């Protein structure tokens, strides 16, 4: 009894210490979303949500580019339409810039989350995968994502210099880059076989990245019941195939003279 009373009074009398270092100091004052982002689960959520937003972009970008098959007027008109979104309610170009801002934010979040998840995995894998096979599969997938991601990023930089700024698209068959002549700029660039081959290769790598990404989204968001695996695989395969087939068709159509 004496021992019990002594223990109880010493417990009540002393202040409770925080259980972990993470509960101490500045961490507790951080906004909820930043606190969540400091965890692996939070980073995976950011990876998945920014990935979904960019998947939406690549899908709609590909669908929009199909206008190429309707001719120069249709594609150039579509590019002009994007600039005039919600015009005259909003000034010309404003909505497009808001969308671009959102896309850039998603890309930066995706890159940061990927970088910090890689660091977390490298330095703090407390729980090993169950077996050597699981380990090999996970390692192969994450390595593939890293390399295809880096190459797609390099492709994106080239692509913007090619079709948006025109800096690498000045040696076409009949002249130089002209702002607003979207169709003609695409044909001038993809008419070069090396560039066309590069577009095909980069878009196939994008497809591999999209396949793994679309598959992983469900895992990252915690919807990974094995019962849905067939559905998940179908979705990932279907999505990646549609985007790749559409995108790869453009350089092939230009080289084949279907789009000229
Ligand atoms: C062969 C496939 C593709 C073609 C023919 C194509 C075509 C184009 C064209 C013509 C533009 C300029 C549009 C304008 O100035 O109005 C453009 C912009 C852009 N493309 Fe692509 N694209 C392709 C694939 C991709 C892919 C796979 C990505 C992403 C990984 C991508 C990301 C972008 C971005 C971010 C812009 C800038 C959009 C803007 O400034 O509003 N494109 N693309």
Residue nearest atom 26 in ligand 1 by C-alpha distance: 58
| Half-sphere exposure (Cβ direction) of 247: Cα atoms closer than 13 Å | 24
Domain segments of the chain as ranges? 41-255
Residue nearest atom 32 in ligand 1 by C-alpha distance: 156
- Return the higher-pLDDT residue of 121 and 247: 247
**Ligand 1 centroid to 151 CA: how many Å?**
16
**Ligand 1 centroid to 61 CA: how many Å?**
7
Residue nearest atom 24 in ligand 1 by C-alpha distance: 247
**Ligand 1 centroid to 25 CA: how many Å?**
46
What does the pLDDT look like over 203-237, one tens digit per residue? 999 999 999 999 999 989 888 888 888 999 999 99
Q: What mean pLDDT value characterizes the chain? A: 86
Show the tokens assigned to 107: 């890309």
Res 125: pLDDT: 57
* DSSP string for residues in the chain: -HHHHHHHHHHHHSPPPPSSGGGSTHHHHS-HHHHHHTSHHHHHHHHHHHHHHHHHHHHHHHHHHGGGGG-HHHHHHHHHHHHTTTTTTS-TTHHHHHHHHHHHHHHHHHHHHHHHHHHHHHH---S--SSHHHHHHHHHHHHHHHHHHHHHHHHHHHHIIIIIS-TT---BTTB---TT-HHHHHHHHHTSHHHHHHHHHHHHHHHHHHHHHHHHHHHHTT---GGGHHHHHHHHHHHHHHHHHHHHHHHHHHHTTS--
What does the pLDDT look like over 12-24, one tens digit per residue? 444 444 444 454 5
Res 3: pLDDT: 43
Report the pLDDT averaged over residues 66-93: 96
What does the pLDDT look like over 122-142, one tens digit per residue? 776 555 655 665 666 667 777
Ligand 1 interacting residues, C-beta cut-off 6 A: 58, 61, 65, 79, 100, 152, 156, 159-160, 163-164, 182, 186, 199, 203, 206, 247, 250-251
**Ligand 1 centroid to 159 CA: how many Å?**
7
Evaluate if residue 4 carries a pLDDT over 80.
no
Res 85: pLDDT: 96
**Ligand 1 centroid to 227 CA: how many Å?**
37
Distance linking the first and last C-alpha atoms of the chain: 95
- What is the atom index within ligand 1 of the atom nearest the CA of 100? 41
CATH class of 41-255: mainly alpha
Question: What b/e readout covers 23-37, taking b as 16+ CB neighbours within 10 angstroms?
Answer: eeeeeeeeeeeeeeb
Residue nearest atom 23 in ligand 1 by C-alpha distance: 247
% of the chain surpassing 70 pLDDT? 81
Res 246: pLDDT: 98
Show the tokens assigned to 156: 């994106």
**Ligand 1 centroid to 234 CA: how many Å?**
26
What does the pLDDT look like over 160-211, one tens digit per residue? 999 999 888 766 445 578 888 999 999 999 999 999 999 999 999 999 999 9
Show the tokens assigned to 185: 């700029």
Instruction: Enter the pTM of the model.
Output: 0.85
């Amino acid at each position: 009894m004496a021992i019990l009373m002594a223990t109880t009074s010493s417990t009540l009398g002393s202040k409770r210490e925080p259980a972990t270092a993470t509960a101490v100091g500045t961490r507790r004052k951080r906004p909820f979303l930043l606190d969540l982002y400091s965890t692996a689960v939070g980073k995976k959520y950011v990876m998945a949500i920014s990935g979904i937003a960019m998947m939406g972009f690549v899908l709609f970008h590909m669908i929009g580019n199909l206008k190429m098959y309707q001719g120069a007027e249709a594609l150039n008109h579509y590019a002009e339409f994007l600039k005039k979104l919600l015009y005259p309610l909003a000034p010309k170009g404003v909505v497009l810039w808001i969308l671009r801002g959102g896309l850039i934010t998603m890309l930066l979040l995706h890159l940061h989350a990927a970088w910090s998840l890689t660091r977390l995995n490298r330095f703090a894998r407390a729980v090993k995968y169950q077996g050597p096979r699981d380990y090999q599969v996970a390692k192969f997938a994450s390595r593939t994502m890293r390399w295809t991601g880096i190459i797609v990023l390099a492709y994106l930089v080239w692509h913007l210099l090619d079709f948006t700024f025109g800096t690498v698209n000045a040696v076409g068959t009949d002249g130089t880059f002209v702002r607003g002549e979207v169709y003609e700029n695409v044909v001038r660039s993809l008419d070069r076989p090396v560039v066309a081959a590069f577009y095909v290769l980069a878009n196939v790598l994008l497809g591999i990245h999209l396949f793994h990404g679309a598959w992983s989204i469900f895992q990252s968001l915690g919807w990974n019941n094995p019962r849905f695996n067939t559905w998940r695989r179908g979705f990932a395969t279907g999505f990646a195939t549609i985007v790749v087939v559409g995108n790869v068709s453009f350089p092939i159509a230009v080289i084949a003279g279907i789009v000229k």
